[in-house]
Amino acid sequence: MLRLGPLLTSTSARLATRHTLATPSLSKFRPNATSFWSPTKASRSYMTERPIVQQASGISWRRMAMTAAGVAGAVVVIEGIFNRETRESLSLGERSLLHQSFQYTGGGLVLTALAARSMFKNGIAFRVMAANPWVVLGVSLVGGIGSMMGVFYTPPEKTMQKHLFWLAFNGFQAATLSPLFFLNPAILSRAALYTCGVVGAISYVGATATNDKYLNWGGPLLAGVTVVALSSVAPMALPLGIRGLAITEAISLYGGLAVFGGFVLYDTQKILKHARLAEQGLMKADPMNEAISLQLDMVNIFIRLVQILSMNQKK
């Protein structure tokens, strides 16, 4: 039976990395109106700037079609490069656990998105951004890791208790992701589409690769996510210059994309291995536990794509 310790270490690091990026400070957004008092004229003046919520722009269906074609081509190329030796078709147990894991992943992402949108409409997102970032980071980490451990350590037989921990985990996810709705909805839509394409392509590669081909990536990926997490926290804790900030931002964004793309590959093969162990009676299949790791991978990829698209829009 596989030990749960390394799994908790890996998922906790991924959760910490995500929280450092998903809880922006209010100072990063320009206010809608800034007022000041003029003692000479004894009157109140206002300077109106760009609204805090960016207006949605039209969706380019041509760009969407080109993106879909690019993702399809990338799948073919990646499959040809990494999977020259493919495996036999999935067994019934492997296929079942893989499908159930992705169903829980999709359900968790939909639940998180709906809850985050509701929190944004109720003003919770503004209060999260206005609060001390270290307090937000600490509370979200304690709540997120605590509920995640509750999911991991609750056996599948305790359905109600396990689902309550799962709902709590998605609730903490939603609270820290709700400030993203201040951004242009078109950017969020594009980032979500790109995330689905990237994760779908990499998951397909992992599912069709030979058994355990990418499971030895666990150590390097854990080291990589540690570096990404430190580079995300560095601007909050260290007095860095412009060049230092640019370097840490590049590591956090582009290095994070590579690391979490590798985690999708690793987690997909881990699901298949757990399915084979369950078929042999060595462990119990638990799709909810598998879904937590995949959900963290997708959220981390999504956040980085949102930041990259936002940076490109400002140029």
The answer as to whether 183 is a domain residue is: yes
The answer as to whether 39 is a domain residue is: no
The answer as to whether 50 is a domain residue is: no
Q: In angstroms, rounded to a whole number, what is the distance separating the alpha carbons of residues 246 and 17? A: 18
DSSP symbols for 96-136: HHHHHHHHHHHHHHHHHHHHHHHHHHTTHHHHHHHS-HHHH
Q: In angstroms, rounded to a whole number, what is the distance separating the alpha carbons of residues 112 and 242? A: 35
Which range marks the domain in which residue 231 is found? 5-21+90-314
Mean pLDDT for the chain? 76
User: What pLDDT, in 10s, does the model give residues 126-176?
Assistant: 887 787 777 777 888 889 999 999 999 999 999 999 999 999 999 999 998
Range scoring the smallest mean pLDDT among 18-32, 75-89, 262-276: 18-32
Whole-model pTM?
Answer: 0.72
Q: In angstroms, rounded to a whole number, what is the distance separating the alpha carbons of residues 249 and 156? A: 40
Q: What is the pLDDT of residue 205?
A: 84
The answer as to whether 130 is a domain residue is: yes
Q: In angstroms, rounded to a whole number, what is the distance separating the alpha carbons of residues 201 and 182? A: 29
The answer as to whether 81 is a domain residue is: no
User: What pLDDT, in 10s, does the model give residues 220-247?
Assistant: 777 777 777 766 666 666 666 666 667 7
The answer as to whether 45 is a domain residue is: no
Q: In angstroms, rounded to a whole number, what is the distance separating the alpha carbons of residues 279 and 259? A: 30
Domain count, the chain: 1
The answer as to whether 64 is a domain residue is: no
User: What pLDDT, in 10s, does the model give residues 201-225?
Assistant: 888 888 887 777 777 776 677 777 7
The answer as to whether 49 is a domain residue is: no
